[in-house]
């Protein structure tokens, strides 16, 4: 039930389904959901529930990339099925 509560929040399905296709930076996720504060809050919840993982790249800009965990991939699959119903 906890997963349903999380994925029903604005922006979560879009973040999960897009991350299922490719990794994204924070800026890309903020553009995707339309607001920095929403992106911050959703990513915090998704990371806390082991759906999304964060990786800091060791480049000169210290780029942060987000991707799905194994659990996140399962959630994305379920969302795709629900979208086809």
Predicted structure pTM score: 0.90
Cβ distance 83 to 11 under 8 Å?
no
Structure confidence by residue, pLDDT tens digits, 48-63:
999 999 999 888 888 9
Please count the structural domains in the chain.
1
Sign of the dihedral through C-alpha 69, 74, 77, 79: negative
* 24-25 and 52-56 strand pairing: unpaired
Tokens of 16: 């999960």
**Domain hosting residue 64, numbered range:** 2-83
Q: Quick one: pLDDT band at residue 84, thresholds 50, 70, 90?
A: low
Q: What percent of the chain has pLDDT over 90?
A: 76
Tell whether the torsion through CA atoms of 22, 25, 26 and 31 is positive or negative.
negative
Query: What's the confidence (pLDDT) of residue 59?
Result: 84
CATH code for the domain in which residue 28 is found: 1.10.10.10
Condensed to tens digits (0 to 9), the pLDDT of residues 35-48 reads 999 999 999 999 99
Please tell me what DSSP assigns to residue 59: S
What pLDDT shows up at residue 85?
Answer: 47
């Amino acid at each position: 039930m906890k997963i349903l509560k999380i994925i029903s929040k604005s922006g979560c399905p879009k973040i999960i389904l897009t991350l299922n296709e490719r990794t994204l930076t924070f800026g890309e996720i903020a553009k995707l959901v339309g607001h920095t504060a929403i992106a911050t809050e959703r990513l915090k919840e998704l990371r806390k529930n082991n759906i999304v993982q964060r990786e800091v790249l060791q480049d000169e800009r210290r780029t942060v990339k987000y991707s799905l965990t194994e659990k996140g991939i399962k959630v994305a699959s379920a969302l795709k099925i629900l979208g086809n119903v």
